[in-house]
Structure 1
Amino acid sequence: MIMSLDGFVNDRDGELGKLYASFEPNEEINAVMARTGAVILGRRTFDLAEADSYGVDYEFQVPIFVVTHHPPAKHPKENEQLTFTFVTDGVESAIRQAREAAEEKDVLILGVDVFRQALKAGLVEELQIAIAPILVGKGLRLFEQLDDFEISLEKLQVIETSQQVEIWYKVLR
């Protein structure tokens, strides 16, 4: 997840471009991609891209589980590595299915609402946050709506690129 220094994962217009302007692929990001065996998306995150483009352009060519109340009318194109499962019975079910599909590899969660649900349910083991060098002032905050939760973290790793800082945390239970 890329977040502005003031805690937003998109700007006041719902756009992500300014946050990703400083993104630089690095060895650790490439390693994360290689260790990923399945991806969980929220429906809004899924809808950010053209559905049929995932099978061609998406960096994670793995099974994708989309948490939603309303699956799309038309199932998106898939390929040998990338398949879609639309999960309508909650984030816990999506995580269970994704872990099974990933086998020994990691499950990556993308999407603020799905991430918050998983974090509240105690299903997140690690956080990886890249901090973009920008203050956007308004938008969608990553850690909002966690008022009733206190979550302790242990820093695992910090990577500095020329423009941003990436921090890995272990979620302590």
Structure 2
Amino acid sequence: MAKVCFGMVMSLDGFVNDREGGMNKLYASFEPNEEINDMMARTGAVIFGRRTFDLADADSYAADYEFQVPIFVVTHHPPEKHPKENDQLTFTFVTDGVESAVRQAKEAAGEKDVLILGADVFRQALKAGLVEELQMAIAPIILGKGLRLFEQLEELEIDLEKIRTIETDKQVEIWYKVLQQ
């Protein structure tokens, strides 16, 4: 059965982008490793928010995106032109909420995992009790300003269990299981 995971690189002070909205400083230290490659192989579908979808040229996903799986984009406004797809990578624009996106993504993923990418859609899924695992890569930088990942979650108290930790020369990655909300 597919589990719903969230993955993100954030600064030591909790930001997922810098004061200009960029993420290059965070990913400068990112090093793919065996655990990340395994996670990618276990991923059967991806969920984005619209802002995450808009970070790249929509037609480039089919040729260049590392996850060649069905992608579900949670949005109030689907693009006018449907992006290019291929035999593995398809786009579904979900306008009826994150719960619907998770349900559809789990169905598409089959026995593989569903990966959520993007701060806003993550917060929506976490508030709805839909996230089962967090994978956080901590970049060796303090940004001071930007978009905080755990903003707007004041009403939640969530217990986590550390599953594993990986330390590379440039960053630390921590996997947590969500226990209760």
RMSD: 0.3
The match for 1:63 is: 70
Pairing 1:8-87 to 2, within 5 Å after superposition: 8-87=15-94
Question: Aligned AA for 1:131?
Answer: I
Partner in structure 2 of residue 132 of structure 1: 139
1:7 shift after superposition? 0.2
User: Once the two structures are aligned, what percentage of the paired residues are identical?
Assistant: 83
Q: 2:113 maps to what in 1?
A: 106
In the TM superposition, residue 139 of structure 1 has moved relative to its aligned partner by: 0.2
**Whole-angstrom CA distance in 2 between matches of 1:156 and 1:163:** 20
Q: Deviations over 1:57-101 (max 9, x none)?
A: 000000000000000000000000000000000000000000000
Paired residue secondary structure (2:89): coil
- Number of corresponding residues: 173
Moved over 6 A (4+): none
Partner Cα distance (1:148, 1:101) in 2 = 32
Any unmatched runs of 5+ in structure 1?
A: none
Q: In structure 2, what is the Cα distance between the partners aligned to 1:41 and 1:67?
A: 6
Letter in 2 for 1:31: D
Give ranges in structure 2 of 5+ residues lacking alignment.
Answer: 1-7
Residue 95 of structure 1 aligns with an amino acid whose one-letter code is V
Deviation, 1:153, is 0.4
| CA–CA separation in structure 1 for the residues paired with 2:162 and 2:82 | 40
Q: Taking structure 2 as the reference length, what is the TM-score of the superposition?
A: 0.95
| TM-score, normalising length: structure 1 | 1.00
